[in-house]
Amino acid sequence: MLEGAEGVGRELRGVAAGGEPGVVNRKLLGALAERGLLGRVFRRGGGGEFVPTSAVELCLVREGLARYCTEAETALAVQGLGAYPIVRAGRTEVIQEWVPRVAAGEVAAGFALTEPEAGSDVASLALRAERDGDGFRLSGEKTFISNAPDADIYSVFARTSDAGSKGITAFAVPRASEGLSGERIALVSPHPIGRLRFDRVFVPESHVLGEVDGGMRVAMRTLDLFRPSVGAFAVGMGQAALDAAVTHAAGRVAFGRRLSEFQAVSHQLAEVAARLQAARLLVHDAATAYDSGAGRTGHLSAMAKLFATETAQFAVDTAIQVHGARALERGHLLEHLYREVRAPRIYEGATEIQREIIARHLFRGR
């Protein structure tokens, strides 16, 4: 758990409340940097270079923040997701230009993978990247992109050949690039999410991330790191819901007894507590395996994300049932969590995709 998370969460909630729904909250990014939280995601090695964070560290930070301030958690997570392809696969000059400012909360980053006709089926990406002199011209559309259209730098995945998943290349694309435009998308939970349109956007060769036609490896390695931490985000929200339900049940009196004395209530909360602990252990098992370099860990990340996000939905729904109608009032913590908890079952690979990853691992080589 993030040390001092409750106090930090209270401070960050005030900054988050001052933001505009659906728009990048740059003051919140700055506050995350000032409190050293972005520094825990973007770590520097002994020579001052940026090195990948540990998955365990990322999970601890995300769970701690999610329990007390989901807006701060999301802001931190999308900074990491958007910039990690650059950290892992960018040229030195691109890393030096962008990552220090992302880590300082001075600029916002976005991860641009999903398209209108290519969500879970990433191999069907249609955004084209065509050779043009010493670079590429990108044409097409992206949707449900983190921090769009306000991010200053995007990790963009585009098609450079017709070889399916082996024909995708990753690029670092600044927002200021000529021909790049976009708009915001209003969601149930008002995160900064939007569409991007690329009208022959020029990207120099130096901004290719990794190898040409090797973008899928960049995307999957990034997602393998972040998927367990999506589970940590979910566990944090589920724990917040359980905390609220326990407090309510211990103090609320009905029919002359506290709600906690009714077995129908207390046993529901006991079930939530057991599932949350199981989810937490799955998350940390996947993160530890990733950090150990134990080979292919995608199935463990999938298990963690699958179980934790489904468990969080159950936890929030149960907590609302225990509270009754008051939890549905706009502005109530559980009303907020109810809107927040739904999306993680879809983004970075829907629940159904996680099951497919796990199933393929079971039957690999059979």
348 is catalytic: yes
The CB density around residue 366, as the number of other CB atoms within 10 Å, is: 4
Which residue, chain included where needed, has tokens 């740059």? 26
Cα radius of gyration rounded to whole Å, the chain: 21
Please tell me which residue in 211, 348, 352, 356 is annotated as part of the active site: 348
**Does residue 149 have a cis bond before it (omega within 30 degrees)?**
yes
Q: Who contacts 268 (Cβ-Cβ below 8 Å, separation ≥6)?
A: 318, 321, 322
Q: Is 201 helix (H, G, I), strand (E, B) or coil?
A: strand
State how far Cα 197 lies from the chain centre: 22
155 neighbors 172 (Cβ within 8 angstroms): yes
d(CA 180, CA 196): 7
Rounded to a whole number, what is the distance in angstroms from the first to the last CA of the chain?
40
Report the b/e string of 251-290 with b at 16+ CB within 10 A: ebeeeeeebbeeeebbebbeebbebbeebbebbbebbbbb
Give me the active site residues, please: 348
